[in-house]
Amino acid sequence: EWTSEAFVETTIADLQAKLGNDKVVLALSGGVDSSVAAILLHKAIGKNLHCIFVDNGLLRKDEYEGVLEQYKHLGLNIKGVDAKERFLSQLAGVTDPELKRKAIGRVFIEVFDDEAHQVQDVKWLAQGTIYPDVIESISVNGPSATIKSHHNVGGLPDFMKLQVVEPLNTLFKDEVRRVGTSLGLEHFIIGRHPFPGPGLAIRILGEVTPEKVAILQEADAIYINNLKEAGLYDKVWQAGAIFLPVQSVGVMGDERTYENAICLRAVESVDGMTADWCHLPYNVLAKISNEIINKVKGINRVVYDISSKPPATIEWE
């Protein structure tokens, strides 16, 4: 029978045997998977694990500062890199979802490579890849070529010439959470909803601009904070706001407005492969809608996504 304690024990021993005194670089994303991978490696090889946390300008509101603080608190050997401008400038004028992913993946590799080169004699690249990532990336090349390219799988550029170590690649998400819990990770990290590598870029339909990112960050923060206050955050598998570049007519005082819309998405799922939309209580939805429309400039309408996967995907792009 699989237990997280036994997994932790054998994985740490395996990592020590495999890595010896080698240096390892790992990109932390703030998510559960890379965090758990980092802590496992940290327990195994200590300061030889060099973590890099990149601010791509597409994270949630206050996420970069909050998560970096948390990682430092855990004792990780971590470097934060502010690369907002590099990402956002490469996204200017890009509207196609896959081209956005490619641009973000490309910039990420450049930024990460710059940082990895600063670690002398690094031999390994660690990734928080979990089992469903492996499966989806295989099926990308299979008969159902419709699945989106997940840029965080198999993303090793040749020029980095690093060996890959993926301590979680046999685990499902719930197992990763159990491992994280037995490693003593706090709920702040373990309980986080999944968040896509390309971040808010794929939750802003069409072109990404700094102004739209700022609007979406505000709306999303209101949404997520309300879910937490209502005790619903932990019951939902993933939630997020989406910026719709559709203008509609509204009225504010005596003025007619013509502004954008925010869509709220919340799903229940086991592994993200299939998902049902959540039946969030109307009173909670009403409060979120009022707060977003009253507080977020540029938004005059909020809608709720009632589509399940399949045929809809969780993200809109």
Cβ contacts of 146-150, under 8 Å, gap ≥ 24: 148/97, 148/98, 148/101, 148/313, 148/315, 149/98, 149/101, 149/102, 150/197
Stretch that binds ligand XMP, among 85-93, 119-127, 175-183, 307-315 (CB under 6 A): 307-315
Tell me how far CA of residue 275 lies from CA of 69, 225, 243, 262, in angstroms.
Answer: 32, 22, 21, 21
Q: Which of 15, 8, 73 is nearest to 49 (CA)?
A: 15
What whole-number distance in Å separates Cα of residue 139 and Cα of residue 116? 30
Q: Is 198 in the site for ligand XMP (CB under 6 A)?
A: yes
Is residue 247 a contact partner of residue 260, using CB atoms and an 8 Å limit?
Answer: yes
Stretch that binds ligand XMP, among 47-55, 78-86, 170-178, 306-314 (CB under 6 A): 306-314
Identify which of residues 61 and 173 has a Cβ nearer to ligand XMP in the complex.
Answer: 173
Identify which of residues 268 and 291 has a Cβ nearer to ligand XMP in the complex.
Answer: 268
* Neighbour tally for 110: CB within 10 Å: 14
Q: Is 173 in the site for ligand XMP (CB under 6 A)?
A: no
Residues contacting residue 31 through CB under 8 Å, at least 6 positions apart: 128, 192, 194, 195
Stretch that binds ligand XMP, among 70-78, 183-191, 196-204, 245-253 (CB under 6 A): 196-204
Q: Is 315 in the site for ligand XMP (CB under 6 A)?
A: yes
In whole angstroms, the minimum distance from the beta carbon of 3 to ligand XMP comes to 26
32 labeled part of a ligand binding site: yes
Q: Is 50 in the site for ligand XMP (CB under 6 A)?
A: no
Q: Is 102 in the site for ligand XMP (CB under 6 A)?
A: no
DSSP class of residue 73 equals H
- Report the run of H or E that residue 271 belongs to, with start and end: none
In whole angstroms, the minimum distance from the beta carbon of 226 to ligand XMP comes to 20
Identify which of residues 166 and 315 has a Cβ nearer to ligand XMP in the complex.
Answer: 315
Binding site for ligand XMP (CB under 6 A): 101, 148, 150-152, 194, 196-198, 238, 272, 309, 313-315
Which residues carry a binding-site annotation? 29-35
